[in-house]
Each structure stands twice: as structure tokens, then as C-alpha cells.
Amino acid sequence: MTSFHAAPKGVVDINERQVITPEQVDLAEKLKNEANVFFKERKYDDAIRLYTEAIELNPSVPAYYCNRALAYINTEAFGYAIADADKALNLEPGFVKGYYRRATANMALLRLKESVRDFRMVVKRVPKDADARKKLTECEKMHRRIEFEKAIEFDEEGRSVADQIDLPSMTVDDSYDGPRLATENGHGVIDKAFVDALLTRFRDQKAIHRKYAYQIILEAKKMFTEQPSLVDITIPEEARLTVCGDVHGQLFDFLNIFDLNGYPSPTNWYLFNGDFVDRGSFSLEIILILFAYKWLYPNSVYLARGNHETNNMNKVYGFEGEVKAKFSETMFKLFAETFNALPLGHLIQEKIFVVHGGLFSRDNVSLDEIRQINRFMQPPTEGLMCEILWSDPQPLPGRRPSKRGTGIEFGPDVTENFLNHNNLDLLIRSHEVKDEGYVIEHNGKCVTVFSAPNYCDRMDNLGAYIHITHDRKVSYHTFKAVPHPNNVKPMQYASQFSQFGL
């Protein structure tokens, strides 16, 4: 099909039934070129804005949709990227980049059948494209692996990995020079000295003995299992709670939060609101530190599940590969069981609702419903648990399908309804990179906090955390990224196709 924008005297857009003048064609092309500059500078929101303006002027150019789709992919708006690829292919069914973008977005969502189908189309149309062939091979391999693992999961159903860990058989050699847990009555006992030594050990990029790693995970799993799906937090007068968003395996930025804000203690409380792992390449160290602090200060440290504390995300974005490289597949399976036990949300001082993603596809969801969610599973693709982990706010009223392809987007009226229905004052959530580390939306009722500055070494964003006191005073604090070892890059343990298009 000939691209409509090549016509010299104005064209008729077949979808919009409008005449597009030569001036509109020229201006749209200019906007597209300006958007490309923003894209190269990694200013993806600006690029999306200009691509959108170009499309509004001349909606007949498949490349505009595909360019915007790539910008959406870089902001993890995979649902929007798929919609743009569909539009490009509707305009020009043979447009190779349309198949390529749709394959990439579907792959990020682990819709692997659809991704394989589109990559095969790319390879068919451009048989000499070595990159496309490589990505097709990776996608097919991942698809086979996931199908195989589904089959063996059925055979292993009901068998807990935690019950199979034999701690007494794990001996710690005298040559081990790292921190050691004390033992009382045959059980490991944690203290502040151990956790302090753990932090130093990890700053130095050294490992701890597998026995101690297993003990930390098992103790954390036991604690989380005993908690409800929605945990109530009551801050005493002498304490302060700090709420942090995604930290995503960025160990040195994570430790900088403690350097700036103080280490966890009986008076310096923390709530980490999901997405501890994946992306960054020190996810294992972060999760072991958080679990160790939970064990040390069970009433001062709180953790919520994010959408990346799930098997599918971990297979693609690095945590599974990292744990297997540093320890073993068995340890990863134990982490997966432990993630299933993580609470889904927290209620602070009876008035502040905190979840990783956001709100729901229907009105009048009650806190009691959330408390009753059976969370001990991999998250479903719809329903309350899915939406808690995946949803995002939008500026306009109402609801619409998520830009991510999972969950929903909810407007200020939805936030207002939920808070009023449950006699709440504020929603705090994470899940999205923000340039300033946090953003306040929905008439001050919805706050997003993100705590991984310069996300993946490429976004130049600040990190942020939130202070909340006994009398519900809320304050916001931002911080910059700090240096980290150059020998370890983000996504070092991620699967190959997790980086396609990024």
C-alpha cells in the first residue's frame, strides 16, 4: 500500500473521512522529526505528545503509530503500543514495523503465541534480518519453556519448597568470612549486628552463605503467611513511618535511602510498596536485606507485593536469572512461594490506603473484600488482586483499559468514590516512574511514589519517599541517584527479549 502522506495535493484519510492538506502533511512530518529527537534523548513523554499531535494532523501514516508505539514500549505502556501497532497494520497490512512493535509489546506481556506469530511475519517479509530471526528464536524458546514449566507445576502441585529445605544438612565452612546467624535451641536468631554486617557484605559485592539466605527467607515467609491480605499499621507517637515505592534491584540507591533517612528501627518504621526485584541486578541483595529487617523488626518494617513479585515477571526481567546465578533454582522457587504470601496492601492510621498499583474496575469495593482476598497464588489476569497490582490513575473521569495491557486506568471520580465508601483520606501507590520521584493527582487524593532514581540507568528521574507521622502529617522527600559499580549493569540477568525495543 502506498503511504497516504506521499500524495502531493492533500489526501483523504480513509478512517476519519477528512481531507488532509499539504500544510498538515508538512507540519505533521515536522512534529514527527521533533518527536524523534525527544525519543533519542529518552524524553519519552514529550515524544509521545508530539507523535500524537502528528497523528492528529495526519492520521494516515503508519510510521507515526509505530514510532509512538516504541515510545510507549519504553514507558511500559504495552497495551497502548499494541493498539498503535494495530492501527499501523490496519493502514498498511504489510508494514513490517507494525508486526515488530506488536510482537515486542506482546512479548513484554508474555503473550508469547501472539508474539511468535508476529515475529514469524517479520522474518517472512525480511528473511535476511538477523536481529528479527534471533528474537523469534528467543521468543519460541521462552514459549516452550513456560509451557513445559506449566506442565511440571501441575505434577508438583501441593508440594511446598519450604518443607523440602534441609537446613541442618547445610554446613558452614570455617573458611566462610561473612556474617553468621546465632543459634538458640537449634534455630537461627537474628540481631542488629548480623544485619549491619549483611549490609556491609552486600555493599562490597560479596555473598552470604546459602544457609543464612535460606533461614532469612523462611523466617520472612512464616511472618507474611500469618499476616492478612490488608495489614493495618498504627504508628505510635514516638515513631515515624517512611513509605517507599519501587526500588527494582538498585542496591546502592536503596541503601542511600537508609543513609539519608535512617536505618530501620523501633522508632524509624518503613513500608516498601512492592517491586523490590527485577530490572536492577542486585535484586537478591535487596530482598534479603528487607526480609532480614522484617525478621529483626517485625512491627517496624512492612512489605507489600508488587506486580514484579510474580513468576512471569521474574522470568523475563531478571530476578529468576539472578537467583539461579548467585544461588540455585530451589532458592528461586522458595522466593516465589514467599512472594505469594506477601500482603497486598496496608491501611495506615485507618485513613491512608497503600497498594502497589491502584483501584478497581467497579465501584464500592470495600476494605473487607480486600481483607478476604485469597492471595496465596500467582496473580490472576483480572479481578481485585490483579487490579491492586497493575492499575494506574488517569486524569480524566471514569475508567478505561490499562495502557499496560493488564489492570485498568481509573479517574479522580473513581478515587473519590473508593475513599468516601471506605471513610479514607488518601490513596498512596507506586508502580510508575515519575520525573520528580512522586506526583500528587486526583485533587490531592492519589499519590504515586517511586524510589528508584535514574531508573535502569536511563530515565534521569529522581527517587522519592514519604514521611507519615502519628497524627497523619504527610511530607515528601526526593533524592538523586548515587554511583554504583560499573561492572554490573541493569538487566544483567534478564532474558534477552526483555530488552527488545528498549
Identify which of 368, 361, 359 has the alpha carbon closest to the alpha carbon of residue 418.
359
Q: Which stretches within 297-411 are classed as H helix?
A: 311-317, 319-326, 329-341, 367-371, 384-390
CA 438 to chain centre: 16
Distance CA 328, CA 336 (A): 13
Identify which of 220, 285, 310, 275 has the alpha carbon closest to the alpha carbon of residue 448.
275
Q: What is the DSSP letter of 328?
A: -
Active site residue 308: yes
- Tell me the sheet residues that pair with 478: 464
What DSSP string runs through 443-500?
A: TTTEEEE---SSGGGTS-PPEEEEEEETT--EEEEEE------TTS-TTTTS-GGGGT
The one-letter amino acid code at 262 reads: G
The one-letter amino acid code at 212 reads: Y
List the end-to-end C-alpha distance of the chain, in Å, as a whole number: 29
Rg (CA), the chain: 24
Distance CA 293, CA 215 (A): 13
Distance CA 61, CA 54 (A): 9
Choice among 5, 248, 308, 431 that is catalytic: 308
The one-letter amino acid code at 485 reads: P
Distance CA 385, CA 379 (A): 7
Distance CA 320, CA 494 (A): 8
Q: Which helix (H) or strand (E) holds 231?
A: strand 230-233
Three cell numbers written together for 213:
539466605
Residue whose entry in the numeric block shows the C-alpha cell 522484617: 294
Q: Evaluate whether 448 touches 432 at the Cβ level (below 8 Å).
A: yes
Q: What are phi and psi of 251, to 5 degrees?
A: -55, -45
Distance CA 195, CA 179 (A): 8
Q: Evaluate whether 305 touches 356 at the Cβ level (below 8 Å).
A: yes
CA angle 225/254/390 to nearest 5° reads 55
| Four-point Cα dihedral 347, 353, 358, 359, nearest 10 | 100
Identify which of 426, 427, 432, 428 has the alpha carbon closest to the alpha carbon of residue 403.
432
Residue whose entry in the numeric block shows the C-alpha cell 560479596: 206
Beta strands 446-449 and 18-20: pairing type?
Answer: unpaired
Residues designated as active site:
308
